[in-house]
Structure 1
Amino acid sequence: MKKNQLLFFAIALLGITFTLQAQRGVRIGYIDMEYILENVPEYKEAGTQLDGKVQRWKADIEKKQAEIDLMKLTLTNERVLLTKELIVEREEEIQIKEDEMVAYQQGKFGPKGDLVIQRRQLVQPIQDQVFNIVQDIAEAKKYDFIFDKSADVVMLFAAERNDISEQVLRSINRVEKRKEATSKREKREIQQRDNLSTEEDAEVTKREEAIEEKQTAREQIMNDRKAERDSIRAAKKAEYDAKRARLLEIRQRKRDSVQAVRNGTPWPPEENGTQSPPSNALPSGGEEGDGGNK
């Protein structure tokens, strides 16, 4: 009896140990697909282009609807002047236009429309890439489960330390950098980054961001100084141009005055267009008076 109790206790203890080890050993991670997509430049650029198409499609639908509304209004105003046959013909034309608009709308925004298809085509390559990267991370980091936070899976709590979205995003960016790398040095630097752990890579990224912020601040200071120099230079140039214009005006007035004296015209000219007599002209009747005196 005592031996059976010891055996039962040993089996129970062994089972509890295995259970605790299994519970401690399970690693669960998650990603946020929406966050990843928002930070992939290619997806953002393609999404902007798709948004432009959507706006054009909406404008086309609004235009078609405006044409239909105008046809209905015209028919209402002219109904009393039309025969039954013409009324039926107009109504059929309106119905055809409405059917065409509905078909166009379904073709663009319906469940199987261009918007759904193109959005799927836009997301699918990135989703495939994320899936492959998640597989690699799961095998390298010994994760047992990795969920998508933005999917329909209900997650009542998710510790931030289990979020591997940044790792996935960095891997995607590295793939793009590999494609853009042309020199052996660039490829070697990318390979060195791949060999870093998550913590080391985050530290390197933080240092790079700090260097980039300093570079941006330095460039801003240089731009501000350049703008200040340009402003001072522009003010001096404006002052010089104004002074030069005044000197040219004075010089021209002197030339005009000399020319006026030579031509015997009054200077300065009167604004009302009347001319004053020349300064060397005699008063009217002066010569006759002098002749009489003589």
Structure 2
Amino acid sequence: MRFVKVLITIVILSLSSQMASAQKFGYVDSKFILSKMPEYSEAKQEIDALTSAWQNEIKQMRKEIESKYAELKAEEVLLTKQLKEERLAEIEKKEKEVEEYQNKVFGFNGLLFLKKKELVKPVQDQVFEAVEIVAKKERLQIVFDKAGELIMIYTDPVHDYTDLVLEELGLIDENDLNKN
């Protein structure tokens, strides 16, 4: 009975190792692919412009607060305790408004996040669809992203499917082949 269990275990391990070796893996460089897409460049430029404008707006609001603090400091000796506290409360209220605005713009699910989702996600979806098509054509079970969080210590270029994804997207340039 024990011999049968050992034999079954060996057969199962043998089959699972054969199945594992039959899997086909590949990788792509999504950063490189996105850099070749004009839609992504346009979206990135628009996002950068909005980010810069919002940062400047917040910077200006903070300068106004600093100016109000300086005014308060200069007039402090002339103000009654109640007036000083009122002005200080106004300034603190402005600071809180700026902080809330900054969170509204740059916070989690803020305006910047929503704008990125609106502009970049459709482009990323195109890439993911092309990767899926290439994966199915090449019968890949797993496709890694070289540009992602996953650290790839070594990659054999024979498993690089970036060019095929670029081709699927209609972005292939003969000069770019095998540059990754």
Q: TM-score, normalised by structure 2?
A: 0.80
Using the TM superposition, name which of 40-49 and 127-136 deviates more. Answer: 127-136
Q: Distance in 2 between matches of 1:95 and 1:21?
A: 65
Letter in 1 for 2:57: D
Q: Distance in 2 between matches of 1:22 and 1:93?
A: 67
2:153 to 151, 156, 165: 156
Corresponding residue for residue 4 of structure 2: none
Q: Distance in 2 between matches of 1:151 and 1:104?
A: 31
Larger Rg: 1
Q: What stretches of structure 1 of length at least 5 have no aligned partner?
A: 1-7, 175-201, 210-294
RMSD: 2.4
Query: Are 1:131 and 2:131 counterparts?
Result: no
Deviations 1:240-277 (A, max 9, x none): xxxxxxxxxxxxxxxxxxxxxxxxxxxxxxxxxxxxxx
Query: Are 1:49 and 2:81 counterparts?
Result: no
Corresponding residue for residue 112 of structure 1: 109
Q: How does 1:23-42 map to 2 (within 5 A)?
A: 23=21, 25-42=22-39
Q: Distance in 2 between matches of 1:32 and 1:20?
A: 29
Flag as ranges the 4+ runs of structure 1 deviating above 6 A: none
Return closer, same or farther for 1:22/1:103 CA change in 2, 3 Å cut-off: closer
Letter in 1 for 2:102: Q
Using the TM superposition, name which of 68-77 and 132-141 deviates more. Answer: 132-141
Using the TM superposition, name which of 69-78 and 163-172 deviates more. Answer: 163-172
Query: Are 1:81 and 2:95 counterparts?
Result: no
Query: Are 1:172 and 2:169 counterparts?
Result: yes
Deviation at 1:22, TM superposition (A): 5.8
Q: Percent identity?
A: 33
Q: Which has the higher contact order (CA 8 A, sep 6+)?
A: 2
Deviation at 1:40, TM superposition (A): 0.8
1:59 to 56, 60, 66: 56
Letter in 1 for 2:125: D
Q: Distance in 2 between matches of 1:27 and 1:141?
A: 9
Deviation at 1:21, TM superposition (A): 8.0
Return closer, same or farther for 1:21/1:76 CA change in 2, 3 Å cut-off: closer
Letter in 2 for 1:43: Y
Deviation at 1:86, TM superposition (A): 1.2
Q: TM-score, normalised by structure 1?
A: 0.51
**Would you say how many aligned residue pairs link Structure 1 and Structure 2?**
165
Deviations 1:97-152 (A, max 9, x none): 10111011111111221112222222211222222222221221111211122223
